[in-house]
């Protein structure tokens, strides 16, 4: 287990560090190299899903070796809970057209896949030349829809994780690693 980094209140409910800062840095670099290779010479737009993907998106964008536009969408299926409530709420739409551009949706975690599947469909209807998904974390055991992200950072077990942009009730996003949250921290919300 890596050393816990962060204020003591943050660390009090961390069961274990699942992915260290170094593991994240290395894998984000590898993903950026793949995206750079696959989209060289193409009109690329990275679409970050707010709020959880912001940290991952920033690191990915800085590691690219090709130009890319940046857009954001807001989509929610969790609220302040730990289980997806099965609907996708679009809380922020794109600011510019993506018609004819190659879109890579950058997401923090793929769980059931419902939110991302709906978002991919929406972006295809907006006229994108192609739409792919780049997810930092993937929980394929929880998938309830047909969705296969093109780029996956890490496949993880079915644990509730926080840090590196991922939150529980808007907390823990600033941790520089991905950690498993102790059930006691969220039991009363389920």
Residues annotated as catalytic (active site), given as ranges: 111
Can you name the residues that pair with 161 across neighbouring β-strands?
A: 180
- For 3, which DSSP code? P
Residue 139 sits at the vertex; the CA angle it makes with 86 and 166, to the nearest 5 degrees, is 80
8 Å CB contact between 28 and 59:
yes
The crossing angle, in degrees rounded to 10, of helices 54-63 and 21-38 is 60
Give the burial class of 86: count Cβ atoms within 10 A of its Cβ; 0-12 exposed, 13-18 middle, 19 or more buried.
exposed
SS3 16: strand
């Amino acid at each position: 287990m890596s050393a816990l980094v962060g204020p003591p209140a943050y660390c009090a409910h961390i069961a274990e560090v699942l992915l260290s800062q170094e593991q994240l840095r290395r894998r984000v670099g590898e993903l950026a190299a793949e995206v750079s290779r696959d989209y060289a010479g193409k009109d690329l737009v990275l679409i970050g899903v707010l709020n959880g993907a912001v940290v991952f998106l920033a690191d990915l964008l800085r590691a690219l070796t090709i130009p890319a536009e940046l857009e954001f969408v807001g989509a929610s299926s969790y609220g302040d809970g730990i289980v997806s409530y099965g609907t996708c709420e679009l809380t922020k739409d794109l600011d510019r057209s993506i018609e004819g551009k190659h879109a890579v949706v950058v997401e923090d975690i793929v769980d059931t896949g419902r939110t991302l599947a709906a978002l991919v469909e929406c972006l295809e209807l907006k006229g994108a030349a192609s739409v792919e998904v780049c997810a930092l974390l993937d929980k394929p055991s929880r998938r309830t829809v047909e969705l296969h992200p093109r780029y996956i950072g890490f496949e993880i077990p079915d644990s509730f994780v926080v840090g590196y942009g991922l939150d529980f009730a808007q907390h823990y996003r600033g941790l520089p690693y991905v950690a498993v949250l102790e059930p006691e921290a969220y039991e009363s919300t389920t």
